[in-house]
A and B are shown apart, each in its own frame.
Chain A
Amino acid sequence: MPRLLCLLLALACGLLAAPVRAAPADAGEALTLIASGRFPDIEKGVDLLARSGDARTQAIIEALRDGRLAVAADKRVVIEGANGGWSDAATGEALAEAPPSPKAVRLNNRIRRAVEAALGALTLMAPDAAARRQAAEAVFRSRDATALATLDEAIAREEVAGIRRLMGEARAAILLGDAGASDLQKIEAVDILATRADQDALALLRAAAAQGSPTVREAAEGAITAVERRLAVLSMLQNVWYGLSLGSVLLLAAIGLAITFGVMGIINMAHGEMVMIGAYTTFVIQELARTHAPGLFDWTLPVAIPMAFLVAALVGAAIERGIIRHLYGRPLETLLATWGVSLILQQAVRSLFGPSNREVGAPSYMAGAFDLGGLTITYGRLWIVVFSLAVFAALIVALKATSFGLKIRAVTQNRRMAASMGIRTPWVDTMAFALGSGIAGVAGVALSQIDNVSPNLGQSYIVDSFMVVVFGGVGNLWGTLVSALTLGIANKFLEPFAGAVLGKILLLVFLILFIQKRPRGLFALKGRAVEA
């Protein structure tokens, strides 16, 4: 096959193609074709009409789609109005009397497709920006060459930059697949698609690289590597984001423990159950809202946060007063007794609410997602990241800047000295434990949005929480933050290679080995005092 000839031909066609398509076609001729009643002619007519730029086009094609376009006995094309009246398709004038024996224009699948493409092209110029954006996306996907003329016009008219870019991409997609387009146009198209850099663009580029002329092929291959690199970066960023989101969940679960275990040195195996109590508090509040005030559903989470804190803090205070207080200085016994507490709490919740998962709904602001430079970010995850950081910040402030925080630090550093300075140490113990438990309860509110609310909710977090606190360094809240986020991100990066379960196992093994190396965690305090 003489390649040169082909190239020349393509060039010639390309040069000619654009002006030819841009020339206005005759709407009348199109209507005549439609009235012919033969499918190929009708299809041609729709095409012609779509390219005509006639003001009536949209109304006619919509009527065709809805089966309201008819041909009267006098070969006039008419439209049946919604209220039963008739109008002339070519002029839009209402007819005084019904046309003689109108027969609806028949459609087959090919025509339906042509109709859809034509309509897609038409909405490119709709006054509503969202509709235009959608239409541009639709054209990008359909890559219907008939839309090209309309697209060019729409691009010229479009004022919103984002939509114009989208339209340009749609145009590029059409040209790239169009045998009639010149190499120059195709290379330009490749460049445009390279900036789009998503899986759709990648598929188009791959197709172009497989069948285009050598120059186009080369350009496409270059673009493919660029797009692939960008996609790799994006997927890494996406992983980081997922990791941050998992990390903030871990942070939420562990942060209460960082107080009770990290700061106070109490092993609370019922910590997970405090989280569970928070989640069930959310459930109860939502149930109340559903039955009594459905309109306030969006407010259930803001209400649940203080309630969950209160309920969990009260339970925590009761545990401290009733059990832990008698076991200070005996950490292993505390571990066992609080494990007993956790069993009782689990069974109590199981008896009250049943063993199965309970439905906790997401308010409107937790639903949906948005796009950030190619990253998909769901509002639910975003809120949880923000929330966990806010809880962390609040806790730091509470410990560093309030007199209660000062007392907690005083008691944990030197109990006897604090007592002799008039601090009621048992009271501080109780309040600090209640604080840690309350924060666990607040974590439960957030976790109810992403996890199953069941009596076992707490159990699934207890090992993770301890790992986070120990990894970060006991007694160091910032260590807990870094550790939670690190473990979250590490987990998400291991998952693609190892799978979710194996990734988690690897992480646990790593942590076990890490604790051997640095028994006091990443940010451990050194010196004599901590070895007692």
Chain B
Amino acid sequence: MTRRPILLAMLDGKGAIFLGVLAALAVLVPLSNLFLPETSPLHVPTYAVSLLGKYLSYALLALALDLVWGYCGILSLGHGAFFALGGYAMGMYLMRQIGPRGVYGHPVLPDFMVFLNWQELPWYWSGFDIFPFAALMVLAVPGLLAFVFGWLAFRSRVTGVYLSIITQAMTFALMLAFFRNDMGLGGNNGLTDFKDILGFSVQAQGTRLALFVATVIALALGYGVARYMVTSTYGKVLVAIRDAESRTRFLGYRVEHYKLVAFTVSAMMAGVAGALYVPQVGIINPSEFSPANSIEAVVWVAVGGRGTLVGAALGAVVVNMAKSWLTGALPELWLFALGALFIVVTLYLPKGIVGTLAEWREKRQATATAKPAGIAAEAAE
């Protein structure tokens, strides 16, 4: 009885459009790829399906980041680490699926271990040949790291830029660690040359379409979870923490617990995004941990509009499409454009695309004296 209205209340206009677009993508892209002739202007080639899948896994990462940054004011400069950890968990599964088909033909050990003269699989590789276990690790590893890190940081009330700086240090330390061959995770080169996923060739057209659809579904689910969280009382408390942390504390809320839940859920979403990214891109290496990657994800959210969820996803897709196009057409210009994007968005478009559009619409609808609300809230931070 009570659940229907809640689910309906969760879905606003933006959300409905967003889910509609996702549903359309999940149906139309595979149809176009399979049944339209290659000469048709509407035909989506297989490589483009994977490219789109990559954008959508970035969108899921952006969604995860928006949950903590947009709603709780935690600017994580280390979300790329959770993304990469999820990716590595998936990559380990994919490596074990290669079996004896590696270059060296070893029945169990991945090529890089044979190359480094390792005799047996390190203990932390065990279990990764089983998909459910790997899938569990995709959630558990980033989740656990976020839980421990967040528990330490939020308990000692590390906030604002300090938190941003230590999240950056975290991903930087992980990057250095994963670059080491001793880690047993492929060092510099990372994990690659994947063959099968769940028994299907990762190169096959059908697998690629399935992965794409899985990404769309994951994004929709991620949106659902995030939307449920932010529209609940929990979400109201999160925003309260963002706007006036000590006020919330003096009302008796355990701010650190609220932050910890959001941070951990967000990290797990980022992990899923990474796990979907890896088979579609075909490689995972330590550069995914680089601080620049994490901060780039922040700008997707800023461009789309922080605190809007839909905007974050949109921002990720838009910026990455622009990146693909620019790095192909005018590679020199990409960093200029990205840098300018950071500046322009923070200076002139603090609410991002979706936030600004919503503001315009409100202004038009509102009666003469309505004042913009969000600006004071921003300044209070």
**A interface residue numbers (CB < 8 A to B):** 267, 323, 326-327, 329-337, 339-344, 346-348, 350-351, 459, 463, 466-467, 470, 501-502, 504-505, 508-509, 511-513, 515-517, 519
- Contact of A516 (CB < 8 Å), options: B158, B298, B332: B158
Closest Cβ neighbor of B177 among chain A residues: A505
Task: Give residues 271-288 of B contacting A (CB, 8 Å).
Answer: none
User: Do residues B342 and A340 form an inter-chain contact, with CB atoms below 8 A?
Assistant: yes
Bound together, the chains give a CA A101 to CA B180 distance in angstroms of 72
- Using Cβ atoms and an 8 Å threshold, which residues of chain B touch A344? 335-336, 339-340
Q: Is the CB of A516 within 8 A of B160?
A: no
Scan residues 127-184 of chain B and give those whose CB is less than 8 A from a CB of chain A.
149, 152-153, 155-158, 160-162, 164-166, 168-170, 172-173, 176-177, 179-180
Kindly state whether residue B84 has any CB partner on chain A within 8 Å.
no
Task: Name B residues whose Cβ lies closer than 8 Å to a Cβ of A.
Answer: 75, 149, 152-153, 155-158, 160-162, 164-166, 168-170, 172-173, 176-177, 179-180, 291-292, 295, 298-299, 302, 332, 334-336, 338-343, 345-347, 350, 378-379, 381
Q: Which residues does chain A contribute within 8 Å of B157, judged by CB atoms?
A: 519
The contact of A508 among B75, B164, B172, by CB within 8 Å, is B172
Q: Is the CB of B168 within 8 A of A463?
A: yes
Task: Give the interface SS of chain B, mostly helix, strand, loop or mixed.
Answer: helix
Inter-subunit contact A331/B339 (CB<8 Å) = no
| Contact between chains at A335 and B75 (CB < 8 Å) | yes
- Taking A342-B339, A470-B162 as known contacts, 6 extra A-B pairs with beta carbons closer than 8 A to each other, sorted by chain A number, are A336-B299, A343-B336, A347-B339, A515-B156, A516-B152, A519-B156
> Are A336 and B152 neighbours in the complex by a CB distance under 8 Å?
no
* Contact B170–A343 (Cβ < 8 Å): no
Kindly state the separation between the CA atoms of A332 and B30 in the bound complex, as whole angstroms: 41
For A334, the chain B residues whose CB sits under 8 A away are 346
- Which 7 A-B residue pairings sit nearest by Cβ, starting from the closest? A340-B342, A343-B339, A344-B339, A347-B335, A508-B173, A340-B339, A340-B343
Contact, CB under 8 Å: A512 / B164: no
A33 to B335, CA, bound (A): 81
Are A470 and B338 closer than 8 Å at their CB atoms? no
Query: Would you mind naming 7 contact pairs between A and B with Cβ atoms under 8 Å apart?
Result: A330-B379, A332-B381, A335-B75, A337-B346, A347-B336, A351-B332, A466-B168
Report the minimum CB–CB distance from B249 to chain A (whole Å): 12
Shortest CB distance B176–A (Å): 5
- From known contacts A332-B164, A336-B342, infer whether A463 and B169 are also in contact, taking CB-CB under 8 Å: yes
Q: A459 to B350, alpha carbons, bound, how many Å?
A: 26
Closest Cβ–Cβ distance, residue B162 to chain A (whole Å): 6
User: What's the Cα separation between A267 and B291 when bound, in Å?
Assistant: 16
A463 CA to B160 CA, complexed, in Å: 16
State whether A340 and B341 are in contact (beta carbons under 8 Å apart), knowing that A333-B350, A470-B162 are contacts in the complex: yes
Give the complex CA separation of A517 and B335 in angstroms. 37
Contact A508 B169 (CB under 8 A): yes
Find the B residue at minimum CB distance from A455.
B335
Give the distance to chain A from B348, nearest Cβ to Cβ, in Å.
Answer: 9
Report which of B164, B173, B292, B342 forms a contact with A509, defined as CB distance below 8 A: B173
Give the interface centre of A336, A350, A459, A505 by most chain B CB atoms within 10 Å.
Answer: A336
By a CB distance below 8 angstroms, the chain A residues around B161 are 267, 331-332, 335
CB pair A505–B173 under 8 Å, yes or no, is yes
Neighbouring A residues of B162 by C-beta, 8 Å? 470, 515, 519
**For residue A322, which residue of chain B has the nearest CB?**
B343
Cross-chain contact A339 with B335 (CB below 8 angstroms) = no
* A residues in contact with B173, CB < 8 Å: 504-505, 508-509, 512
How far is A326 from B345 in the complex, measured between Cα atoms in Å?
13
